[in-house]
Amino acid sequence: MNYSFGKIDPSLIGDFVNIEYPSRRQFRDDETVERWKSIGHLYVNYTGLLREEYRGLPKWCYKISEYFKDRMNISKTSMSVYCMPPGTIMPEHRDMYHRYKDINDIDDDDICRILVFLDDWKSGHYFEIEDTPVINWKSGDYCIWYNDASHIAANIGRENRYTLQITAKVEK
């Protein structure tokens, strides 16, 4: 199994609604998008709104990142807060970490991603990791996966779905 679940204290989480989210940028791997389309996933939006660290993030994000750095042997963390408005559907994929790998000059085998659910689960919010469905999460629940574990994220509900994504190098 290439993933595990845990929980942080939700009081570490600050305001994630009033962040200035930039406009959408579509998923960066054309081959994946073509594969989705070829099996019938014809959507307007495949990705949501990503506020990446280089644009500036609230302090509470760094506190959460420190929380994980204190407990795991990881380094070179990079964060983004991700808002998926209703109608955002990302079928099964593997994260490519193109930019992260370029900047940090590291191999696939050394990467992990921590996905922290910022809000309680709402109707229509979905996550799946290596064919395991995840719903009903509470604010502060998280999933960690390593390297290229496949996953799905979608919002077929009525309210925005918010997560904090931390990408890191796993030290051996």
Q: Which residues bind Fe ion (CB under 5 A)?
A: 95
CA 130 from centre of chain: 15
Distance CA(3)–CA(32), nearest Å, equals 22
Q: Which is nearer to Fe ion, 68 or 97 (CB)?
A: 97
Strands 3-7, 74-84: parallel, antiparallel or unpaired by DSSP? unpaired
Strands 161-170, 74-84: parallel, antiparallel or unpaired by DSSP? antiparallel
- Give the shortest CB-70-to-Fe ion separation in angstroms: 25
- Give the shortest CB-155-to-Fe ion separation in angstroms: 14
Q: Which is nearer to Fe ion, 8 or 129 (CB)?
A: 129
- Give the shortest CB-110-to-Fe ion separation in angstroms: 18
Q: Which is nearer to Fe ion, 95 or 110 (CB)?
A: 95
User: Can you list the positions of beta strands (E) in 54-122?
Assistant: 74-84, 88-93, 111-117
Q: Which residue is nearest to Fe ion (CB)?
A: 95
